[in-house]
């Protein structure tokens, strides 16, 4: 006998499709929404249903935005000659939170991953090259993750951008995270931090 | 500058209201739904919006159900004289999965928690007592959690049910979980398992 009402089962399945959410968490979340006042579930339902209508990709940097160009591309106070290349919109949000970067962005929407059939044509790389030429970009800061595919994508990009005259290509520094105890740092990170040591 | 589109921000806030989901997970889930085909977000939105319309409480056992009485209460093959009392619908689902229980259920919708202002009147306890008398129940299996509030609720229930003549009140057995290494069992559980030892 199926003791889970169909409407609840469907919602559990919806939650299960989200990354990192299994059967137990999905059930817990769906039951929580059922116990909450109906308005809470309805609000979330409305927000979800309208999500894709409200948000598009900026045609310049490919960030998710309600306007085109997005707020950052349309902001004249930000330096258009400095472009930070990231994998995903979440990375852009993380960098914005630091308050340290005042240039513009370019979102690749993924990393190179030949095993999954993701080559350069599947990412927004051609658009980046065109942008470098068209918008007189002077520095590209490659801020892909320091994972194997992130590093491979960075290496590929750096190679492709070599041909652009007068362009400086930089990469985020690697080292010990702030607040980390040295003895718990992994050996690769610690090795890089030693190589990249700076004058105190 | 707010770099998160408003429609995305709203969805992140919706996710953050769910139990065990913080800012980072909420952002990850919302971004995932934005990257997926629009239909996925719309389906989930519809399922959420319709959740409370589709599901009501069974007027006999108070389980979430699309019908009243629910499928279990309406099933003549299940023994109405044996009632398992649980805290929440999730507990009912977990017990049903075992396939071992063939009686009916009663959902309390919570546990006694005087600090949060939850006394016997906030739970479906009166309804249970009435049910015991009206439906000739012969055994009540108290399946509240073996947490402090769960045990307190079980003790209160057991006390209240004492007066019902011919009623057997039972509690789930405590002991070592299947597959657990004895040396990792906590001392309380291990102590109970020794006290409740059975003939091999």
| Predicted confidence (pLDDT) per residue in A44-84, tens digit | 999 999 999 999 999 999 999 999 999 999 999 999 999 99
Whole-number Å distance between alpha carbons of B33 and A18: 8
**Does A189 map to a domain?**
no
pLDDT score, position B185: 87
| Amino acid B87: pLDDT | 94
Q: Is the peptide bond before B58 cis (omega within 30 degrees of 0)?
A: no
Q: Which residue of B has its CA nearest to A71?
A: B3
Q: Is residue A124, in this structure, part of any structural domain at all?
A: yes
Asked if A94 and A145 sit in the same domain, the reply is: yes
**Ramachandran angles phi, psi of A66, nearest 5°:** -85, -15
Nearest to B14 among A21, A43, A72 (CB): A43
Q: Output A159-168 pairs: Cβ under 8 A, ≥24 positions apart.
A: A160/A120, A160/A125, A160/A129, A161/A129, A161/A132, A164/A129, A164/A132, A164/A133, A166/A138, A167/A132, A167/A137, A167/A138, A167/A139, A167/A140, A168/A138, A168/A139, A168/A140
Question: What is the percent of chain A with per-residue pLDDT over 70, rounded to a whole number?
Answer: 100
The verdict on a CB contact (< 8 Å) between B47 and A1 is: no
> B49 with B10, same domain?
yes
Whether residue A117 is predicted with pLDDT greater than 70 in this model: the reply is yes
Length of chain A, in residues? 200
Show residues of chain B in contact with A18, CB under 8 Å: 29, 32-33
Residue B1 has pLDDT above 80, yes or no: no
Q: What pLDDT is recorded for position A108?
A: 96
Provide the domain limits for residue B10.
Answer: 6-53
Global confidence as pTM: 0.79
Touching check for B38 and chain A: CB below 8 Å? Answer: yes
The answer to whether residue A179 sits within a structural domain is: no
Which residue from B43, B65, B75 is facing A5, i.e. has the nearest CB? B65
pLDDT at B130: 93
- Give the integer Cα–Cα distance in Å for A50 and B45: 8
Residue A169 above 90 pLDDT? yes
User: What's the count of helices (H) and strands (E) in chain A, helices before strands?
Assistant: 8, 6
Q: What pLDDT does A168 receive?
A: 93
In three-state secondary structure terms, A162 is coil
Same domain as B88, residue B42 = no
Do residues B33 and B113 share a domain? no
Which pLDDT does position B50 carry in this prediction?
Answer: 93
Three-state DSSP at B158 gives helix
Domain count, chain A: 2
The answer to whether the CB atoms of A18 and B32 lie below 8 A apart is yes
pLDDT at B174: 87
| CA dist B117 → B81, B85, B87, B150, B156 (Å) | 32, 21, 16, 15, 16
Across chain A, what does the average pLDDT equal? 92
Give the mean pLDDT of B189-193.
Answer: 88
Q: What is the CATH number of the domain that holds A86?
A: 3.40.1360.10
Note whether residue A194 is domain-resident: no
């Amino acid at each position: 006998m199926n003791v889970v009402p169909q409407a609840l089962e469907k919602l559990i399945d919806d939650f299960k499709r989200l990354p990192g959410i299994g059967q137990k968490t999905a059930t817990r979340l769906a039951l929580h929404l059922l116990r909450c006042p109906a308005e809470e579930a309805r609000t979330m339902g409305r927000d979800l249903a309208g999500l894709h209508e409200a948000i598009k990709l900026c045609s310049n940097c490919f960030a998710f935005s309600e306007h085109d160009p997005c707020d950052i591309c349309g902001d004249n106070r930000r330096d258009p000659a400095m472009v930070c290349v990231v994998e995903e919109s979440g990375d852009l949000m993380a960098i914005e939170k630091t308050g340290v970067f005042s240039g513009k962005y370019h979102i690749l929407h993924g990393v190179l991953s030949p095993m999954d059939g993701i080559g350069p044509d599947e990412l927004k790389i051609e658009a980046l090259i065109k942008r470098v030429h068209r918008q007189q970009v002077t520095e590209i800061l490659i801020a892909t993750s320091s994972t194997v595919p992130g590093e491979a994508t960075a290496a590929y990009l750096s190679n492709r951008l070599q041909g652009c005259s007068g362009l400086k290509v930089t990469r985020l520094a690697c080292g010990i995270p702030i607040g980390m105890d040295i003895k718990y740092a992994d050996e690769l990170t610690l090795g890089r931090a030693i190589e990249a040591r700076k004058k105190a």
